[in-house]
Amino acid sequence: MLITCRRCGRVHALGSCAVPEKPRRYARSEARAFRSSALWQRTAEEVRALDGNTCVVCMERDGAVNDRRLQVHHLDPLSETGTSCPSATDAARLATLCERCHEQAGRGDFSKEQLLEWMAAHRARFR
């Protein structure tokens, strides 16, 4: 059967194209799939609500209210714990951070212990 090839645009027999398939931009990792799940979306929404839809670090460290470009940070990285670990969806181990503070947390600019202290103080404001 002749087809129009998706890879090269020519007409030839099915499966006989010599042009190699383009590599995918990224492999769909377990963590990426988890972040797309309904469970994670609900959890992230709950965590943002717990934190008053503001960045924990900006408010507690800098005294500034930042509610833009918020992300939810795992204190225990998914790359280390995996997505089946209970801490992946435990609100006590998740913090709402702005993009800048999330990058700083990923680099280790402040410790987990410091972030936990800021989280406790921050969440006390919104109870």
pLDDT at 111 over 90: yes
In a domain, 31, yes or no: no
Quote the number of domains for the chain: 1
Q: What is the pLDDT of residue 19?
A: 84
pTM of the model: 0.76
Give a yes or no: residue 108 inside a domain: yes
- Assigned domain for 24 exists: no
Q: Is residue 29 part of a domain?
A: no
Is residue 50 a part of any domain in this protein?
yes
Check pLDDT > 70 for residue 40: yes
Among 86, 122, 85, 87, which Cα is nearest to 101's?
Answer: 122
Mean pLDDT of the chain: 90
What is the SS3 assignment for 11? Answer: strand
Q: Is residue 52 part of a domain?
A: yes
Average pLDDT for 17-32: 75
In a domain, 42, yes or no: yes
The answer on pLDDT for 2 being more than 90 is no
Range of the domain at 121: 36-125
The answer to whether residue 23 scores a pLDDT higher than 80 is no
Q: How confident is the model at residue 28 (pLDDT cuts 50, 70, 90)?
A: low
Is 2 part of a structural domain of the chain?
Answer: no
Residue-wise over 93-117: b if at least 16 C-beta within 10 A, else e?
Answer: bbbbbbeebbebbeeeeeeeeebee
